């Protein structure tokens, strides 16, 4: 089955991509102007000024930088999730194995151990290969980001009836929340500035998987790490 045949939002997604690009352009332009004029003002404010002007300008500059970073996150999100899907029959196992290969240097740098467990079964799915590859890379990257060295990452695959499941789990800090699904909200973060990131990765993962007729489940705890399970139809 064509993936977009399961996605009634296909036309809307194309329009959304167009609007998102226009919005991103306007916001990026405004952020640049704020940053530029803040720097210009900073160049004429005397170093001896004790009225707080320098501190105010520093805050404005920091806010402009933060806005630009968030715009980059929005660009990444819509580049991943919007637009038409181009499905093909591919092995989900092969996609994740390729992601591990692509991230080999980062994995080695964290002293990470990646264990792959595959139950017997059919793991061929009808998906947009490029988007699912980015989903796989994003999930493994999350494990590396939030795990202290040596990171322990486990990829497990299961084919049940008419669906394929892959679970990506780690031994990271996890997070305490009565509603783990909150992690799928755009820009939602649980670890503050202790870890890098914008809080867009899981939102993008969920959107892409749901566009393919699948779903995403997350389990986490501060003592047991985090596990993300993707379910996709054959």
Quote the pLDDT of residue 159. 94
pLDDT band at 169 (very low <50, low <70, confident <90, very high): very high
pLDDT band at 211 (very low <50, low <70, confident <90, very high): very high
Q: Where are the beta strands (DSSP E) in the chain?
A: 87-91, 113-118, 124-128, 152-160, 163-170, 215-221, 225-233
Quote the pLDDT of residue 212. 95
How far apart are alpha carbons 171 and 5 in whole angstroms?
38
Q: How do residues 41-68 score in pLDDT, each as one tens digit?
A: 777 766 655 566 777 777 777 777 777 7
pLDDT band at 123 (very low <50, low <70, confident <90, very high): very high
pLDDT band at 210 (very low <50, low <70, confident <90, very high): very high
Average pLDDT over residues 5-27: 59
Average pLDDT over residues 177-205: 70
How far apart are alpha carbons 234 and 1 in whole angstroms?
9
Q: What is the torsional sign of CA 200, 206, 210, 211?
A: positive
pTM to 2 decimals?
A: 0.74
- Residue 95, pLDDT > 80, answer yes
Q: Do β-strands 163-170 and 225-233 pair in parallel, antiparallel, or remain unpaired?
A: antiparallel
- Residue 166, pLDDT > 80, answer yes
């Amino acid at each position: 089955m064509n993936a977009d045949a399961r996605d009634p939002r296909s036309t809307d997604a194309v329009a959304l991509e167009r609007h998102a690009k226009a919005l991103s352009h306007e916001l990026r332009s405004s952020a640049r102007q704020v940053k530029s004029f803040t720097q210009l003002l900073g160049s004429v404010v005397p170093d001896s000024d004790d009225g707080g002007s320098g501190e105010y300008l520093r805050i404005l500059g920091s806010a402009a930088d933060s806005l630009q970073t968030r715009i980059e996150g929005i660009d990444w999100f819509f580049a991943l999730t919007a637009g038409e899907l181009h499905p093909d029959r591919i092995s989900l196992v092969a996609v994740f194995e390729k992601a591990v290969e692509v991230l080999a240097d980062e994995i080695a740098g964290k002293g990470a151990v990646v264990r792959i467990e595959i139950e017997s079964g059919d793991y061929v799915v009808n998906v947009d290969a490029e988007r699912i590859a980015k989903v796989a890379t994003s999930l493994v990257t999350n494990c590396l980001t939030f795990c202290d060295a040596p990171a322990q990452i486990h990829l497990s695959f299961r084919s049940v009836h008419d669906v394929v499941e892959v679970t990506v789990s780690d031994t990271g800090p996890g997070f305490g929340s009565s509603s783990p699904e909150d992690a799928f909200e755009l820009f939602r973060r649980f670890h503050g500035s202790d870890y890098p990131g914008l809080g867009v990765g899981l939102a993008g993962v969920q959107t892409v998987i749901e566009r393919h007729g699948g779903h995403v489940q997350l389990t986490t705890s501060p003592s047991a790490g985090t596990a993300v399970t993707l379910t996709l139809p054959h």
